[in-house]
Amino acid sequence: MESEGTFDARVTRAHPVPRPAGPPPQLPPGVPARPSRAPATRPGVVEWLRTRRPEAAPGVWRFGHRERPAEEPEAVPARQLFSGAFIAYLCGWLVWSLLWNGYLEGWWIFVDDWWLLPMLWVVPEEWRSGTSSFAELFVVVIYLYYAFILSLFAHLFGKVGNWHEVWQRYGVPLWPLFVLLPGVWREMPRTSWLLWVSNAYYLLLAVALVAAVGRAGSWPAVRRRLAARRGAAAPPPPEADPVEWPEIHRAGLPEAAATLAAATRSGALGDVDYARIRRAWQGVHARPDRIAAFADTVRRHGPAACAHPSGLRDLPARTAAHDLATGQVRIGTVADDPRNPYARRTTGLALEPALLGTSLLAVGPSGCGKSVRLVRPVVESLCLLALANRAAVVTVTAQGSGLAPDHCFDLVVSPGDPGSTHDLDLYGGAEDPDEAARGLAEALVGDLAAALPGGDSRRAATALAQLIGPYRCVHGRFPAVPDLRELLGGAPAALRELRTALQAAGEAAQLRELDARERQSARADDIGVLLAERIAFLDRPAFAGSFRTDGGGRPFSLRAVEHPLRVRVDLPERGHAEASRIIARLVLAQFTEAVLGREDRSLFACLVLDDASSTVTAESVRAVQRLRGANAGVVLALRSLEDVPEPLRGPLLGAVGCRMAFAGLAPWDGGRFADTWGTEWVQTRDVTDRQIVVDEPLTKALHAMRRLVTGKAVTAQAVTVREVERARWSASDLAHAVPAGHAVLSLTSVAGEHAPPLLVDLRT
């Protein structure tokens, strides 16, 4: 019950679950590991749990999300706005003047100053006498009442005249100008009328400063947050409060629920702990026979129950905002741009497994922010989900790229690095020669498949199977890189030795495979020559201990993605560029093969390629299309679609569900995205100016005077409104209209929900 069966091995191999790259922090016995630190990107656990997460469209950051209107409210024209505000002011001033000057006296049940009645009802009658000791207080009350009535009129007529819109549109941008006027006014003579004007000015200045500072300081947002906190001050009832773990309490485990609730309120239970224990409870809920074991684990370990194999409960630091209750990571904010739907503007944009399960393709030049603003947050989120036993992540990056530190991963595989703790299994843990040959052929010649006979790598896979099958039959293991190179190159001694061993073992079937390989090697177009040239890139002294098959070392197989692992594969791109491309294709081929062959697909598996150049092949595109049904996905980052063979560019864009175009995209790449995103119907207004020709002398004179003053002829406008079909984002817009630090992103969920292309600010 310590792992809820999550990490139990399904294959009988040595070290099926690799241990962390570094040892976990040493703690006293019996003391559960605490989170390393509370990230600044999230509030306290109690507040975090009680925050609303409403259902929303794909990609919406649901944490505290507030719905926006579907359509933008129509703005009032400036002339109409000012005229309405001025008329409302005149009406309010007129009503106040009539009341103040007594013109409306006696209109209300024949009582003078009827509008003073509400005040007179609450003021004692003896206060009104001039000899009363409360006479001065009565005067103060009268003026306060005047101020109240005046404020009431200002509010009512200001609302009718839409003065709030006038201030928001013109007052806030111009308020600094009022600060410069007092210095000028101090030089003017102090007359009585100027004193009144000055006092009125300072009053208006104070109101303007308060409103402007409040606007600049986001006081409305503070007020809404305080109101929300006041509304949430009273916690929800225990049966609906996530802090109390009501589902565990209802299952008949009050002690376990109380333990977790106490840890939540004290802060000992973090967001990763919450997600991990919730994941374990979901597995236990499906198997009631394990409820007792779950309760015992919670009783003994508290918030550290059902821990990850590494023993860690959080990452040392976070660079993005994460919500592990929904599995989302925020990568930016939808820009307030007319191209974006009004309901999505200024809302947060987030990625989650439900979106990454359709795979994501990101294209942009170097320096546009692919690694920093997309890949790094996604990898960090997947590592957190792995610590919560909800995901497995494999990241492929160049050595020294700094995508994520070593302590964020359970193991780091560095082919060509003598200090690497693990080796990469060249055959992906396969036991069948044909399966092993298929993945290796994809890695060696997958990028050249279109130029091969037959248009794919099946002949290469057959040639490899004809050699590694007999070799495994004799030696009990697949050949290492030097042995495979000799066999593919047709070395007489290697083939003779293999044939002799097969004859001695009486393996007639494997002898036929070897004979077929020797006959094909005599042909001029034999694929073995190309395979030998490609495998030579891996048969270098730097890789001598990286692909061992003799049982030495610690080989890592991608079949381990059945467990919640965090793996990083470092490629030696600086000194071995072609070998790095082969290894990247090998990892991609083995990953797709492993996740498609999983029996338990409840764990989300994701492969992140920081540079997918020369890794996209016809076979990998077909495999990506099948991943969404296996609860898995890939993230492919490219500098340009030119790094993908021409016949595969369209199929690749069609195979992935999430597409991202960064600023600085080339026009030809933008054209591909524009074709993929298609068109939409928009409403256009065509305005035609037609010059007015008149014959009357007086009208001619008026038109001539108007033309003399304005410099334009008198015209009449004809407006035509029509529906036209236009590209959502044209190639020119994608190449030249996307600001730096922005990207255009379209999303598709595994359930089939879509989000149109959105301009996203990745810096906020």
Q: Are residues 454 and 531 in the same domain?
A: yes
Lowest mean pLDDT: which of 226-235, 279-288, 599-608?
226-235
pLDDT at 132: 54
Residue 225: pLDDT over 70? no
Q: Is residue 169 part of a domain?
A: no
Q: Is the pLDDT assigned to residue 383 strictly greater than 60?
A: yes
pLDDT confidence of residue 151 = 81
Question: How far is Cα 378 from Cα 375, in angstroms, rounded to an integer?
Answer: 5
Residue predicted with more confidence, 388 or 228:
388
Same domain flag for 359 and 388: yes
> What pLDDT, on the 0 to 100 scale, is given for residue 81?
76
DSSP codes of every residue in 527-570: HHHHHHHHHTTT-SGGGTTTS--SS-S-EE-GGGGGS--EEEEE
Output helix, strand, coil percentages for the chain, rounded to the nearest 5. Answer: 50, 15, 35
pLDDT band at 233 (very low <50, low <70, confident <90, very high): very low
> Which segment of 79-88, 653-662, 748-757 scores lowest on mean pLDDT?
79-88
Greater confidence (467 vs 157) lies with 467
Report the DSSP beta bridge partners of residue 721: 685
Domain end (from 281, 297, 314): 314
Which domain-ending residue is among 161, 191, 226?
161
* Cα–chain center distance at 603: 20
* 428 in any annotated domain: no
- Which range of 88-102, 212-226, 288-302, 656-670 scores highest in mean pLDDT? It is 656-670
pLDDT at residue 38 greater than cutoff 60: no
Quick one: pLDDT at residue 554? 83
Of 196-205, 245-254, 455-464, the range with the lowest mean pLDDT is 196-205
Is residue 200 situated within a structural domain?
no
Domain limits at 337? 321-422+557-678+728-764
Euclidean distance between CA atoms 662 and 652, whole angstroms: 17
In a domain, 209, yes or no: no
Mean pLDDT of the chain: 81
Token pair 């300072």 in the structure block, residue: 202
Q: Which helix (H) or strand (E) holds 334?
A: strand 328-334
Is 70 exceeded by the pLDDT of residue 128?
A: no
- Cβ neighbours, 10 Å, residue 240: 9
- The answer to whether residue 67 sits within a structural domain is no
Q: How far apart are CA 87 and CA 157, in angstroms?
A: 9
Does residue 625 sit in the same domain as residue 658? Answer: yes
Q: Spell out a b/e string for 60-69, using b for 16 or more CB atoms within 10 Å of the CB, else e.
A: bbbbebeeee
Give me the number of domains the chain comprises.
5
pLDDT category of residue 606 using cuts at 50, 70 and 90: very high
Domain identity same for 672 and 703: no
Kindly tell me if the per-residue pLDDT of 36 is higher than 60. Answer: no
pLDDT of residue 8: 38
Domain presence at residue 531: yes
**Cβ atoms 355, 657 nearer than 8 A:** yes
| Mean pLDDT across 245-272 | 92
Question: Is 567 found in the same domain as 498?
Answer: no
Q: Are 248 and 256 in contact (CB under 8 A)?
A: yes
Q: H-type helices in 536-685, by residue range?
A: 577-596, 618-627, 646-655, 667-677
pLDDT (mean) for 41-70: 88
Q: Which of 471, 486, 462, 495 is nearest to 549 (CA)?
A: 471
Q: Which range scores top for mean pLDDT: 137-141, 475-479, 565-569?
A: 565-569
In a domain, 174, yes or no: no
Residue 5: pLDDT over 60: no
What is the rounded CA–CA span in Å between residue 57 and residue 91?
Answer: 47
